[in-house]
Structure 1
């Protein structure tokens, strides 16, 4: 899908119902599905927001941005994610959080972004965050200026997101599951799993159905 085709689908993307947990749970292990909404509510999760940015390359082919987190002593060290983070006192709302983090982490100013839609909230058990994703686009490829929270940027073509052959699985050990087969995307040599994969699964379904 090129940039012209993508923009022609914006109205449908804005009005199409979200897939919610049905879409998200395509990319989670069975143990994650068993975490009930009641359990999540009782955990009183912290709020965060992320931004999935689409943009054209020099040939007009659509891409979106992921980042590899810097290594640190924490739950999500060196993982693949969207630009984003926890709500700050200065933020007016979750959209403001996502746009602020996008600028802080990869240097993309909100004035260059057209917001398309807020996606479904996604719960992250290990860090007890409820993440609200947003999707939007830039008319041209941004210049990425990363901060200390980001090891490097990862540019993935929309074509690859829509390619079912790039959905796979890997055996993993995490803080809440051991030797579990985890569904994932495989992009550019990177394994994308967890909350980021859940969000991408819903975005993938939204675009395919639009």
Structure 2
């Protein structure tokens, strides 16, 4: 999908009401953990933000995904957007997304043109309320992975994400007792599922509505 077209579509759709829950649900594991959409969050929830950074490569639109390293934790080895926890000194979620992207993949935050925010999504497993931020740059960034937080950087093409060929389903076994019917995107042989896939579900809807 052409870079300029993607940016224009996103500008159009972000000026309107966001698709929200309905779009996120399309890529949600089943059965749905409805705590994601509860208006009353746990009193100790944490705030975070991620950045969907659109950039041009041979006139096509791309964005980076990262693979988390293996560690003892709920998101070990998973594919995600650059992002992380909101610090006490952060001005807002946009600041958090830009700061974290700079720390994790060396994005020059001062060069990013912010288009807007998508719908927040609560992640019960890690107790985070995540705010996805969309921005763009007019060049290919010189990504550098932060070794402790990023195992690999994946350049995902927007045209591939909207293609039905990479949208798949599988049964995921979580622990010994939980089985989830899980939709996912297969990107460079990696499984993009869970909250990241749900955010991409709304992103795709924004592209469609922005025509």
Extract structure 1 runs of 4+ deviating beyond 6 A: none
Given that residues 47 and 131 in structure 1 are in contact (C-alpha distance below 8 angstroms), is that contact kept between their aligned partners in structure 2? yes
Given that residues 126 and 176 in structure 1 are in contact (C-alpha distance below 8 angstroms), is that contact kept between their aligned partners in structure 2? no
State the shift of 1:137 in Å: 0.7
State the shift of 1:171 in Å: 1.2
- How many residues matched? 209
Match of 2:99 in 1: 100
Structure 1, gaps ≥5 residues long: none
Of 5-14 and 68-77, more deviation after overlay is shown by 5-14
Match of 2:6 in 1: 6
Structure 2, gaps ≥5 residues long: none
Deviations along 1:78-133, one digit per CA (max 9) or x if unpaired, are: 10000000111221111111110000000011111110110101111111111011
**For residues 40 and 73 of structure 1, do their structure 2 counterparts lie closer, same or farther at Cα, with a shift above 3 Å needed?**
farther
Match of 1:35 in 2: 35
**For residues 67 and 40 of structure 1, do their structure 2 counterparts lie closer, same or farther at Cα, with a shift above 3 Å needed?**
farther
Given that residues 21 and 37 in structure 2 are in contact (C-alpha distance below 8 angstroms), is that contact kept between their aligned partners in structure 1? no
Of 165-174 and 105-114, more deviation after overlay is shown by 165-174
SS across alignment from 2:174: coil
Aligned 1:1-210 pairs, distance under 5 A: 1-35=1-35, 37-38=37-38, 41-42=41-42, 44-57=44-57, 59-147=58-146, 148-174=148-174, 178-210=178-210
RMSD over aligned Cα atoms? 1.9
**For residues 43 and 138 of structure 1, do their structure 2 counterparts lie closer, same or farther at Cα, with a shift above 3 Å needed?**
same
State the shift of 1:170 in Å: 1.3
SS across alignment from 1:206: helix
In 2, distance between residues paired with 1:39 and 1:2?
37
Deviations along 1:28-52, one digit per CA (max 9) or x if unpaired, are: 1232253374485245421111001
TM-score with structure 2 setting the length: 0.92
Deviations along 1:46-68, one digit per CA (max 9) or x if unpaired, are: 111100111011x1111111000
In 2, distance between residues paired with 1:23 and 1:176?
30
Given that residues 120 and 129 in structure 2 are in contact (C-alpha distance below 8 angstroms), is that contact kept between their aligned partners in structure 1? yes
In 1, distance between residues paired with 2:35 and 2:77?
25
SS across alignment from 1:31: coil
